[in-house]
Amino acid sequence: MSDRLKITLLLLPAMLIIVLLFFGGLAIGLMRSFNYMPVIGLTEPDLSAYFLVFTDREFYLSFLLTFHIAFTSTVISSILAIGAALLLRRNFVGRSIVNFLFQLNLTVPHLVGAIGMLYLFSQSGSFARLAAEWNLIAKPSQFPALVFDPYAIGIILQYIWKEIPFIGVIVLANMQSIGEDYESVARSLGASRWQTFRHVLLPLIFPGVLSASVMVFAFTFGAYEIPALLGANYPAALPVLAYRKYTDVDLAARPEAMAMAIIIAILSAVMIYIYIRYSRRRIRG
Partner 1 sequence: MSTRKSLITSNLRVLTGLVLITWLILPLIPLAIWSFARGWFFPDLLPKTWSLNAWNYALSDTAGVLDSLWLTIGISLAATVLSILVGVPAGRALGMYKFKGKEIVELMILAPTIVPGIAVVLGIHSVFIFVGLNNTVPGVILVHLVPTLPYMVLVMSGIFANYDASFEAQARSLGASALKTFWYVTLPAIMPGIIVGGLFAFLVSWSQYILTLLIGGGRVVTLPLLLFNFATSGRNDITGAIGMIYILPGIIILLLTARHLSGRSGAVGGFGQI
Please report whether residue 42 would count as binding partner 1 according to CB under 8 A: no
Please report whether residue 84 would count as binding partner 1 according to CB under 8 A: yes
User: Is residue 140 classed as helix, strand or coil in its secondary structure?
Assistant: helix
Candidates 56-64, 198-206, 261-269, 277-285 — which segment interacts with partner 1 by CB under 8 A? 261-269
For residues 74 and 217, the answer to whether their CB atoms sit within 8 Å is yes
Q: State in angstroms the smallest separation of the CB of 95 from partner 1.
A: 7
Q: State in angstroms the smallest separation of the CB of 5 from partner 1.
A: 11
User: Which residue, 83 or 150, has its beta carbon nearer to partner 1?
Assistant: 83
User: Which residue, 158 or 196, has its beta carbon nearer to partner 1?
Assistant: 158
Would you tell me how many other CB atoms lie within 10 Å of the CB of residue 234?
Answer: 11
Among 1, 13, 189, 284, binds partner 1 (CB under 8 A): 13
Mark 263-282 as b/e (b = at least 16 C-beta within 10 Å).
bbeebbeebeeebeeebeee
Please report whether residue 7 would count as binding partner 1 according to CB under 8 A: yes
Please report whether residue 239 would count as binding partner 1 according to CB under 8 A: yes
Rounded CA separation 158/155 (Å): 5
- Residues in 105-144 that interact with partner 1 by CB under 8 A: 105-113, 115-120, 124-126, 128-130, 132-133, 140
CA distances from 168 to 3, 26, 50, 162, 262 (A): 41, 33, 40, 10, 32
Please report whether residue 49 would count as binding partner 1 according to CB under 8 A: no
Rounded CA separation 118/125 (Å): 7
Among 34, 63, 161, 206, binds partner 1 (CB under 8 A): 161
Among 216, 231, 232, 236, binds partner 1 (CB under 8 A): 216
User: Which residue, 186 or 229, has its beta carbon nearer to partner 1?
Assistant: 229
Q: State in angstroms the smallest separation of the CB of 108 from partner 1.
A: 5
Rounded CA separation 140/128 (Å): 7
Among 50, 59, 69, 222, binds partner 1 (CB under 8 A): 222
Please report whether residue 210 would count as binding partner 1 according to CB under 8 A: no
Please report whether residue 63 would count as binding partner 1 according to CB under 8 A: no
Q: State in angstroms the smallest separation of the CB of 134 from partner 1.
A: 10
Residue 261 CA, chain-centre distance (Å), reads: 16
- At 85, which helix (H) or strand (E)? helix 57-88
For residues 148 and 230, the answer to whether their CB atoms sit within 8 Å is yes
Percent of the chain that is helix, strand, coil (3-state, to 5) = 80, 0, 20
Please report whether residue 212 would count as binding partner 1 according to CB under 8 A: yes
Residues that bind partner 1 (rule: CB under 8 A) add up to a total of 106
For residues 220 and 264, the answer to whether their CB atoms sit within 8 Å is no
Please report whether residue 4 would count as binding partner 1 according to CB under 8 A: yes
User: Which residue, 186 or 258, has its beta carbon nearer to partner 1?
Assistant: 258
